[in-house]
Chain A
């Protein structure tokens, strides 16, 4: 069977048709790979996939079909093809982090987030391209070549989860996993015109996510719609004994469709939760895709500087008007220490990376280059040939700021300013603001090769990195286009308030309708 219109199907619609017996998991896998071939997901075109095995995915689909025969209503993601960023460990396919140093490495264990996707019926189709060890904002730092933006192949898809964002934007999978340290899900989501979520630090287990900067890293989700992202986050969130930083806070149902509201995706059945036997968590206020009465949305002046791209500013103002028309109050606010976030982040993240990446030494796994001149020479040859230029730069930067004589001036100082940045968010949310709205990025996607200065590239994270430093959740939602390139708007809420984040995101998506992609 050929699944009609696969590239436009949401995850809930796919699961619904699989549950109803209208399509099988194998049909969905074949449709996904067919779409990947049509769009050119391979290295000679968009370069989205680093590793895939259609035969193995079809075998997994057969096993999923057998499970469905035993329990027909099981799995909120039954038969849904998903793509996984290549720094998230998966059984069966390699996990290389876009690096030569892990070329061909297949993990002996699997990330909890991937296991939970599979347990919910999802099917893994590919590991996706990324900036090496998630260090970058364009996916140009991959050892396996850059990924191209499906909306304009001359442009980058953003990064570091550029392959996952491109897979969703190209209609290969309705959802994908990415990871965030400073905006690596939301920024590519904005550049590719899809939805990207960074959950609260602790909301999703980091077990099996290859560590970059452990106090900042989080697995996030990308979806074609807000509903896709909500469904995916529900599946992977929650306590995991294998990650001591994961939270045991209860995971609410985020989907409006599951709570009886009206989801913007007309193919999502409203009664899905009832049919799947799940009880909605009673969280006030009652949801509604187009109602924001009583909701206060903060507009921080630091995120709308005079230098902001004029077209991006106009699209943000249109989104704010939609919020007002749905009953929300827009309040001008200030997050005064946000302009310090890039210097803070680019001290703390490289410092943590310099420690985390010490494990890649040619001894236990991955590449070994041995010039037969002793242990130290083996370390140096392995690491200098295994790591690319940006990883080398950041490891050295991190080593410098942690070294004797510079620790207090850089690392300790940055940790203190991080406290001030987090305090800004606490103050705003304590004042009654439910959600903060900002542009996700200062500009739309830029051409491949356009930015060569490292610090100029780092500035791509200027609106996203604060949420990582503060540990709060944030989502990027498409809010329109500049010429043909997508622009994202960002909604940030308080710790563990993904429910409010999704509610405002659903409203924005519904309020903009087709304008979100125009």
Chain B
């Protein structure tokens, strides 16, 4: 099935990727071409075939349910873009900014 330009803009928003108009057109063609090669799978009967999510042969082993400190040789402050008082600082949610503006 062909991907539409609207699809590309929708999934770009879901993936938090800014995609401009020209790039959206390119991606529409590229993704449609790639997905056309996937259509062959629809011809395979998998009615009673279980899905494989992982290939570990022994399952996931259990360990004692005890938390451990991460093995960090450097502090978060040394690589986080913005930190203050042990917290990561993020920009305001746009909705909050709108509220602030409308209330002003």
Query: Residues on A close to B: CB < 8 A?
Result: 91, 105-106, 108-110, 201-202, 215, 241, 244-245, 247-249, 340, 342-344, 346-347, 354, 358, 361-368, 370, 372-381, 383-384, 387, 392-393, 395-397, 399-400, 403, 409-410, 412-420, 422, 453-455, 458, 469-471, 495-496
Residues 52-80 of B at the A interface (beta carbon under 8 Å) = 52-58, 60-61, 63, 70-76, 78-80
A420 CA / B45 CA spacing, docked (Å): 10
* Partner among B27, B53, B81, B96 whose Cβ is within 8 Å of the Cβ of A215: B53
**B22, CB-defined interface residue at 8 Å:** no
Once the chains bind, are B73 and A109 in contact (CB under 8 Å)?
yes
8 A-B residue pairs with CB within 8 Å: A109-B73, A215-B55, A245-B56, A245-B60, A347-B41, A400-B11, A418-B52, A471-B57
Give B contacts to A, CB under 8 Å: 1, 3, 7-8, 10-12, 14-19, 27, 30-31, 33-35, 37-38, 40-42, 44, 46, 49-58, 60-61, 63, 70-76, 78-82, 88, 90-94, 96-97
13 further A-B contacts with Cβ under 8 Å, apart from A108-B72, A399-B14, A414-B41, are: A91-B73, A109-B70, A109-B71, A244-B60, A249-B58, A340-B40, A363-B90, A374-B92, A374-B93, A374-B96, A393-B27, A416-B44, A417-B41
**A423 to B, closest residue via Cβ:** B49
User: Is the pair B56, A399 in contact by a Cβ cutoff of 8 Å?
Assistant: no
In contact, B49 and A416 (Cβ under 8 angstroms): yes
Query: Once bound together, how far apart are the Cα atoms of A417 and B39, in whole Å?
Result: 13
Bound form: Cα–Cα A105–B78 in Å:
10
Total number of residue pairs linking A and B with CB closer than 8 Å: 188
* A416: contacting residue among B1, B17, B50, B70, CB under 8 A: B50
A381-B18 CB under 8 A given contacts A91-B73, A393-B31: yes
Whether A455 and B93, one on each chain, are in contact in the complex, defined by CB atoms closer than 8 angstroms, is: no
Q: How far is the CB of B82 from chain A (nearest CB, A)?
A: 7
Closest A residue to B88 using CB positions: A363
State A244–B76 Cα separation when bound (angstroms).
24
